[in-house]
Amino acid sequence: MGAILSAPCACLGSCLGSCAATAACRSLGSSMSTSRGAKLFYVVIVFLSALLALLARYASGSLFQRMDLFSMASCVSAGCFQVHAAFRICIAMFAFFVIMGVMSAAHGPFHFGHAPLKLLFWLVLIVFAFLLPNSFDDGFAKFALGGAGVFLLLQIMVLISFSYDWNSSWTSTEERPWLIAVVVVSATLWFGSVVVTAFFYSWFAVGDACGFQQAVITVNLLAAVLYTALALSSFAPHGTLLTSSVMFAYNTFTMYGALSADPSACNRSGVSLTAFSTWGLVITAVTLCWSAFSLSRTTLFGEGRPALDVTTEADPPADAEQASQPIGHLDEEQMATLRFSNAQFHLLMALSSLYITMAVSGWATAIPNDESNSSQRGVGAPVMWVALTTTWATTLLYLWTLCAPRCLPDRDFGVDINAS
């Protein structure tokens, strides 16, 4: 179990460190003067915050005990210090993006530039967060649980879009090696999920008293069969096996989290949610990276108000971002679009902060002062229902992408429903 848990932690730490170093140099070097450079800087802040929170959660208990912080005076164990320290870093991250979002919505150019000052402001917020009492963390945890659910819904949309783009990039050339790769990856994800689902019945659904658990596992499996069949049929000519396999794998992952959080006697696994939460952070890291660049071109809530690529430089060089416009040349409507785009980006980052809060704390909504054993942290009905709702929402949203062109034939989805 130690190897299972340490592998994703090491992977995440390595990814965050390398991404942070590279991206920080690029974003600071360009003075955050472009849309992509600015978004890259803010994603780095999320990565650094997540890395610090992980270090605080798993490697700093004795350090904070020796510091004897008055705000953590009620803690009597290293585990209590660790969880509260991780919370403070996430609270600072959330406050940072809320403030950035409000300021960017009020004044569009605020989103750009001043990277050193913003980095310093983030560090100051972390210091102030450590002055908060432990009781504040318990209230924030309950708020973060709801926000994490909202972020998971947004992450689902990003994941579906990413899966479609992944399939397109591998099949667009119609070269045999890439087509074989699509089939191999799809089969591995799909049948691997079937195998894991079979284990679910013995881990979480043994006995007549576990009818609910048996039902949700079966529904997840049947839903996968349904949307895979639709994706391969003429009903949805735009459907793909790879996208269906990714959705099935993700739903199986979230179903594991839901069943592991089940407080009833049906949960015989005896595992903590640490591995689930850590791999969840890895998925979040990937989706945030992809979102940062995809949101440079489109808005989060639709394509009615396309995002702008702008630069704060009055005379951008020839190698600047393609289609970048000097911010001083924007008219009133374009400036409003810029403010909207930047504000929604910071909203996504703030919601990711709430998800990271839950992930690094093991989805705990209350931390006892004598916290010493994390094996049961995050186990409870609220956590289980958040994960189940995420699974069902993923299924419904993906089914909608398959059915929407047929249900609303008068709308242009960029899909030829008459294609064979």
Alpha-carbon span 247 to 395, nearest angstrom: 8
pLDDT for the residue numbered 312: 55
Report for 70-74, 222-226, 263-267, 269-273: range of highest mean pLDDT: 222-226
Task: Provide the 10 A C-beta neighbour count for residue 375.
Answer: 12
Domain boundaries, the chain: 2-406
pLDDT for the residue numbered 299: 42
Residue 313, both tokens: 């430089």
Three-class SS state of 365: coil
Dihedral of alpha carbons 351, 356, 362, 365, sign: negative
Please work out, in degrees rounded to the nearest 5, the angle formed at the alpha carbon of residue 161 by the alpha carbons of 160 and 162: 90
> Whole-model pTM?
0.75
| Proportion of the chain above pLDDT 70, given as a percent | 68
pLDDT for the residue numbered 38: 84
Report for 82-91, 116-125, 311-320, 331-340: range of highest mean pLDDT: 116-125
In the predicted model, is pLDDT for residue 148 greater than 80? yes
Please work out, in degrees rounded to the nearest 5, the angle formed at the alpha carbon of residue 386 by the alpha carbons of 395 and 384: 105
Q: How far is CA 214 from CA 10, 60, 323, 369, 382, in A?
A: 34, 40, 53, 36, 19
Of residues 255 and 420, the one with the higher pLDDT is: 255
pLDDT for the residue numbered 194: 97
Nearest to 385 by CA among 268, 261, 272, 267: 261
Q: Phi/psi class of residue 126: alpha, beta or left (left: φ > 0; alpha: ψ in -120 to 50)?
A: alpha
| Proportion of the chain above pLDDT 90, given as a percent | 28
In the predicted model, is pLDDT for residue 348 greater than 50? yes
Average pLDDT over residues 248-272: 83
Of 106-115, 173-182, 267-276, 291-300, the poorest mean pLDDT is in 291-300
How does the average pLDDT of the chain come out, rounded?
A: 77
